[in-house]
Amino acid sequence: MGNDNWPEVGEFVVCTVKNVTDFGAYVELEEFGGREGFIHISEIKAGWVKYVRDYVREGQKIVCKVLNVDPSRGHIDLSLKDVNEHQRRAKIQEWKNEQKAAKWLQFVAEETNTDEDTLQALHEKLVEEFGSAYLAFEEAAIEGEKAFKGVKVNKKYLKSIIKIAGENIKLPFVDIAGYVDLTCTLPNGVEVIKQALSAANSVDDVDGKDIRLEISYTGAPRYRIKVIAPDYKKAESVLKKSAQIAVDTIAKLGGHGTFKRHIESAKA
């Protein structure tokens, strides 16, 4: 599913290196219709860089942070040095998950004889309601039709999504969630909240193979922290740490945060 929009400043994006020069690297943004971005040599690595090719090469997949977007010029400035290892792994996993979801949606289209325009509209609806298409399939595998309560999706698509989700997603032992309310009245309040959420998404305990941590927006000022793990003890520990990091971080930056625990479901 292509995305013809522009990325937001501060967003992490998956890129393919297309051309390396003496002063930086030109890349293609995988999630934004192949839009081109540029990483200046000063944003390749902290400290002095003599040869850009010592750090990136043509054809390499990398994760960058968006520094500036100018749609009128078709220009996107990116940073490689501002992405830590945890952020890189988390973004790559998210990207891979969305590729899986795109493939599953093609299965839905084939099964329901749906044209490309209608499929694109369905994809946009799932992203709007669940935050991503992959999360929609994941919720379908966990909750079935209950996950789509209040969501206007044609019954034939819903039935197909639940079937394909069940065939492709292996459910972990436990799925829990909590909510953090984050507010900041400072002029840079939006950026402060983004920093708090980024910190909350960087819990050291998270192992990409065993534990999944996902943070999504549910409506101002509330954000949902969801943890899927092999057992309740691990899930509970990660959830509490993530929420506490969000609350502590926003407090340090001049905002306010509170945590509300909520168990969604547990499966043996």
Same domain membership, residue 178 and residue 143 = no
DSSP state of 50: S
User: Can you tell me the mean pLDDT for 235-248?
Assistant: 92
Whether residue 187 is found in the same domain as residue 233:
yes
Residue 267, in any domain of the structure:
no
Residue 2 resides in a domain: no
Measured CA to CA, the distance from residue 220 to residue 52 in angstroms comes to 42
The whole-angstrom distance between residue 267's C-alpha and the CA centroid of its chain comes to 25
Nearest to 10 by CA among 198, 246, 214: 198
Instruction: Please report the pLDDT score of residue 205 as a whole number.
Output: 64
**Dihedral-angle region of residue 34 (phi above 0 means left; psi in -120 to 50 means alpha; beta otherwise):** left
pLDDT tens-place string over residues 57-98: 999 999 999 999 999 898 999 999 999 998 999 899 999 999
Give 12-62 pLDDT, tens digit per residue. 999 999 999 999 999 999 989 889 999 999 999 988 999 999 999 999 999
Cβ contacts of 248-253, under 8 Å, gap ≥ 24? 249/195, 249/196, 249/199, 249/200, 250/182, 250/184, 250/192, 250/193, 250/195, 250/196, 253/184, 253/186, 253/192, 253/195, 253/196
Instruction: Give the pLDDT score at 3.
Output: 46
Find, among 167, 147, 161, 117, the residue nearest to 226 by Cα.
Answer: 147
Q: Are residues 68 and 141 in the same domain?
A: no
| Alpha-carbon distances, residue 150 vs 99, 139, 147, 154, 207 (angstroms) | 26, 14, 9, 12, 33
Q: How many domains does the chain have?
A: 3
Q: Does residue 240 lie within any of the structural domains?
A: yes
Task: Report whether 157 contacts 251 (CB < 8 A).
Answer: no
- On whether residue 176 sits in a domain, the answer given is yes
112 and 149 together in one domain = yes
4 in a structural domain? no
Q: Which of 29, 55, 80 is the last residue of a domain?
A: 80
| Residues 151 and 182 placed together within one structural domain of the fold | no
Phi, psi of 128 (to 5 degrees): -65, -40
The answer to whether 238 touches 161, Cβ cutoff 8 Å, is: no
Instruction: Look at residue 262 in the predicted model and tell me its pLDDT.
Output: 56
CATH number of the CATH domain containing 203: 3.30.70.1130
Q: Tell me if 55 sits within 8 A of 49, measured CB to CB.
A: yes
Does 5 reside within a domain?
Answer: no
Distance of CA 268 to the CA centre of its chain: 27
Strand partners, 27: 17, 37
Q: Which residue has the higher pLDDT, 236 or 262?
A: 236
CATH code at position 140: 1.10.150.190
Task: Give 140-163 pLDDT, tens digit per residue.
Answer: 988 888 888 888 888 899 999 999
Which DSSP state fits 22?
Answer: T
Are residues 142 and 93 part of one domain?
yes
**Do 176 and 254 share a structural domain?**
yes
Q: Does position 207 have pLDDT exceeding 60, yes or no? A: no
Predicted TM-score (pTM) above 0.85: no
Strands 174-183 and 36-40: unpaired
Name the average pLDDT for the chain.
88
Q: What is the pLDDT of residues 91-141, one digit of tens each?
A: 999 999 999 999 999 999 999 998 989 999 999 999 888 888 999 998 898
Q: Are residues 124 and 158 in the same domain?
A: yes
268 is a domain residue: no
* Boundary residue ending a domain (166, 201, 236): 166
What is the Cα–Cα distance from 164 to 50, expressed in whole angstroms? 50
Q: 91 with 160, same domain?
A: yes
Report whether pLDDT(267) > 50.
Answer: no
Contact 147, 220 (CB under 8 A): no
| Range(s) of the domain holding residue 238 | 172-258
CA 48, 54, 57, 61 torsion: positive or negative? negative
Instruction: Report which DSSP code applies to 5.
Output: S
197 within a domain of the structure (yes/no)? yes
User: Residue 236: what pLDDT?
Assistant: 87
pLDDT at 169: 85
Domain end among 166, 184, 202: 166
For residues 86 and 146, what is the distance between their CA atoms, to the nearest angstrom?
A: 33
| Same-domain status, 180 and 252 | yes
Can you give the CATH number for the domain in which 60 is found?
2.40.50.140
pLDDT of amino acid 172: 58
Residue 57: closest CA among 74, 75, 39, 42? 39
Of the ranges 97-106, 154-163, 195-204, 259-268, which one carries the lowest mean pLDDT score?
259-268
177 and 254 fall within a common domain: yes
